[in-house]
Amino acid sequence: MLKNAKIRGKIHDTYAEAFDGLYCRLLITAERGLDEKDTNSPFIEFDPLRFSAYRATSTPAVVVGRTEAGIEKWLTKDETPDGREGVILQFWGMYRKEKPLKEQVESFYKEVSIRIRQDILSASGGTTRIFDYMDGDKSVYKIDAEERVGKCGGGYEWIEEEFDRKFINVPLMMGHDFKIDNTINCGIGISGANIWLLCDTVETGRASGKKAIEAIRKVDSVITSFYICPSGSMVGNYPPIGPPTNYPYCPSLKNKIKDSKIPKGVNSIPEIVINGETKDVLEEAMREAILAVEKMRGVIEVSAGNYGGKLGVHKIFLRNLFS
């Protein structure tokens, strides 16, 4: 690690509070068959790989008891088992040590299967394959994919070996068959690690957030499910819709409420939330993000969100990242 007094001086003496979470790591491949202009077009409907990836990861919702997901990495044809372009996705759900693992995995996979059926199988043109992409030594539970995905074949699905694994084949009207690994591994990782970028303007907030995300993308096995999150959550009794905004840190309220915690000169605080397979990769991602933005003009300080240590079982101290 680096020993850098300048960096440490810009970082609050605080920690990010993170949580154990159930997760699975899937590789999606597809036949894109696109011209370069279509591959780079902002209209993604004709690109089955991007369309499936963005649909399946579009609604982070662990805070309301469902799932969140994110894009980990895009892969070239040379990096995938079937020689097609691909994308690694991670899906995350809540985990509580005191509850039965099987019960939690079943609830988690029910949510993941909906994403697979509705956002990948049903919206990709039928050429997608789903590979389980988790190292076996990180698995705590093996999910039978046939129960909630394979049976979309109405009883006419079948299993055959390809690419040194067993695939469930689901027949589709399109003529292509949807293929998914018959077993999906589920692990316990760490979710909710975060950094806050205290910036002078909203423009700086957007620019620094983007730069932080670009740095994090270089780290394997992590995702940023909210991309650049415009507001952290407030701890306390949640309303039915979920946690409210962390209002003491909202710049537009600094002259309207008594308990504002906005430092002088700060007018924007984007949050970058990171989920990862291990604490080590989360620390690497946080460190790379901070290094990417610490010299940017307008980034006044770097902090993190926590709940006083009352909720998360993991504490990642920001200054220790550089000690």
CATH number at residue 130: 3.30.70.520
Domain identity same for 244 and 160: no
Output the pLDDT for position 290: 97
Q: What is the count of structural domains for the chain?
A: 2
Q: Report the distance separating Cα 268 and Cα 262, nearest Å.
A: 9
Residue among 82, 79, 102 nearest 22 (CA): 102
Statement to judge: residues 159 and 198 lie in one domain: no
Residue 82 shares a structural domain with residue 136: yes
Question: Looking at the structure, do residues 152 and 68 belong to the same domain, yes or no?
Answer: yes
Among 133, 159, 187, where does a domain finish?
Answer: 187
State the pLDDT at residue 108: 96
Residue length of the chain: 323
Token pair in block for residue 121 = 């199988």
Backbone angles phi, psi at 159, to 5 degrees: -115, 135
92 with 140, same domain: the answer is: yes
State which residues form the domain around 276: 5-17+190-322
Measured distance between the N- and C-terminal CA atoms of the chain, rounded to whole angstroms: 7
Residues 223 and 301 in one domain: yes
pLDDT given at position 190: 97
Q: For residue 2, what pLDDT is reported?
A: 44
pLDDT at residue number 311: 78
Same domain, 45 and 9: no
Stretches in the chain below the pLDDT threshold 70: 1-9, 34-40, 42, 236-239
pLDDT of residue 244: 82
Same domain, 179 and 216: no
Residue linked to tokens 């990642």:
316
Query: Which of 167, 187, 207 is the last residue in one of the domains?
Result: 187
Strand partners of residue 68: 92
Claim to verify: residue 102 and residue 198 sit in the same structural domain? no
CA 170 and chain centroid, separation: 27
Buried b (16+ CB within 10 A) or exposed e, 241-276: eebeebeebbbeebeeeeeeebeeebbbbbbbbbbb
HEC sequence for the chain: CCCCHHHHHHECCCEEEEEEEEEEEEEEECCCCCCHHHHCCCCHHHCHHHHHHHHHCCCCCHHHCCCEEEEEEEECHHHCCCCCCEEEEEEEEECCCCCCHHHHHHHHHHHHHHHHHHHHHCCCCCCCEEEECCCHHHEEEEEECCCCCHHHHCCCCEEEEECCEEEEEECCCCCCCEEEECEEEEEEEEEEEEEEEEECCHHHHHHHHHHHHHHHCCCCCEECCCCCECCCECCCCCCCCCCCECHHHCHHHCCCCCCCCCCCCCCECCEEEEEECCHHHHHHHHHHHHHHHCCCCCEEEEECCCCCCCCCCEEEECHHHHC
Q: Give the tokens for residue 183.
A: 């077993």
Contact 125, 176 (CB under 8 A): yes
- Burial per residue of 180-215, b for 16 or more beta-carbon CB atoms within 10 angstroms, e otherwise: bbbebbbbbbbbbbbbbbbbeeeebbebbbebbbeb
- 86 in Cβ contact with 27 (< 8 Å): yes
pTM of the model: 0.92
Residue 133 backbone zone (phi > 0: left; psi -120 to 50: alpha; other: beta): alpha
